[in-house]
Amino acid sequence: MGKNIGSHRIMGDKRILTVQDISCVGQCSLTVALPILSAAGLETAILPSAVLSTHTTGFTGYTCRDLTEDIPGIIAHWQREKITFDAIYTGYLSSVRQIGLVKEMFTKLRRDDFVSIVDPAMADGGSLYPAFDPDFVSEMRSLIAEADIILPNITEACFLTGTACREAYDEDYIDGLMKALRNIGAKTVVLTGVSYDSNSTGVAVLEGERPSYYRHARCARDSHGTGDVFSSAFAGAYLRGKRVCEAAGIAADFTLRCMENTENDPAHWYGVKFESVLPYYIDRLRGTEGENQWKNK
């Protein structure tokens, strides 16, 4: 179990549950979350929200089976076996009902010093994913209100707060988004894909009352699944005892390395080759480099 020293959490052996879909091919969701969290040294349990033959971007004719009906029985079985978790980290949830079931898990399956981490995976590029509607957004808003840490991108933050999406924005806009998410109830906000110029991108964090920003180089090629890579790497680093900003910096740098590892391979268009970069992630978990790139306000 972990203990608190100031605001820094010192971790022993930890068990984390991640709830998201399995895209069997495509290097996203559980196929990246399980190896990354395991590389962080965490006992990782999974609860699939759906099973897809591939992810839905660039592939055609994929199969998909929603697993909502299976989840209540899984929760009940774990309760009978007294199985609990130090953390629950959620990604893509495939139905409004699943969001309610996750809230149930937060209550029924928690250990002491429990932390809930929510990636509200539902939108990007200014639009909701095709499977989702305003009812899903409303229910997701209720989930982030109960979360300790949320990991939205800018589009998701806009839908959750009812803010107009902008292609161009400044620090005041980003700070306003994060404060609006805090007003919903989220305790700590880690906002991804925040770019103030054409050559860089980064991560904005609101923890306490002081916003911070971590800037890093922008990769020329966009890749599918990088949000899942970042969220998983963040959850692993945080559960290993890193502070929020440090975990976000490690996750951002790892995600960039994965993208750079893939950008010269045009045949590998469906995800990032993260596997060979895992040693870098493990090394970063052992050190503190990268913190000097944070800008505090």
- Share the mean pLDDT of the chain: 92
**Rounded Cα–Cα distance for residues 37 and 27 (Å):** 14
Residues 242-295: pLDDT tens digits?
A: 999 999 999 999 999 999 999 999 999 899 999 999 999 999 999 855 444 656
pTM to 2 decimal places? 0.92
Q: pLDDT tier at 181 (50, 70, 90 boundaries)?
A: very high
Handedness of CA 280, 272, 24, 143 (dihedral sign): positive
pLDDT value for 185 = 96
Mean pLDDT for 54-74 is 93
Query: Quick check: 7 and 36 in contact, CB under 8 A?
Result: no
Band of pLDDT at residue 147, cut at 50, 70 and 90: very high
Higher-confidence residue of 12 and 259: namely 259
Residue bearing tokens 């906000």: 189
Dihedral sign, CA of 32, 110, 181, 246? Answer: negative
Beta strand 149-150 with 64-66 is unpaired
Residue 136, both tokens: 């899903």
> Which range has the top average pLDDT, 5-14, 173-182, 222-231?
173-182
- Judge whether residue 223 has pLDDT over 50: yes
At 3, the pLDDT band (50, 70, 90 cuts) reads very low
Confidence of residue 182 (pLDDT cuts 50, 70, 90): very high
Reply yes or no on whether the pLDDT at 7 is more than 50: no
How many CB atoms sit inside 10 A of residue 200's CB? 12
Lookup: tokens for 138: 């409303």
pLDDT band at residue 12 using 50, 70 and 90 as cut-offs? low
Kindly state the average pLDDT of the residues 212-219: 90
The pLDDT of residue 2: 46
- Of all residues in the chain, the percent with pLDDT exceeding 90 is 82
- Asked whether the predicted pLDDT for residue 6 surpasses 60, the reply is no
- Provide CATH code, domain 13-289: 3.40.1190.20
Q: How far apart are CA 284 and CA 267, in angstroms?
A: 29
Q: Is the pLDDT of residue 81 over 50?
A: yes
- Whether the CA torsion 290, 144, 187, 155 is positive or negative: it is positive
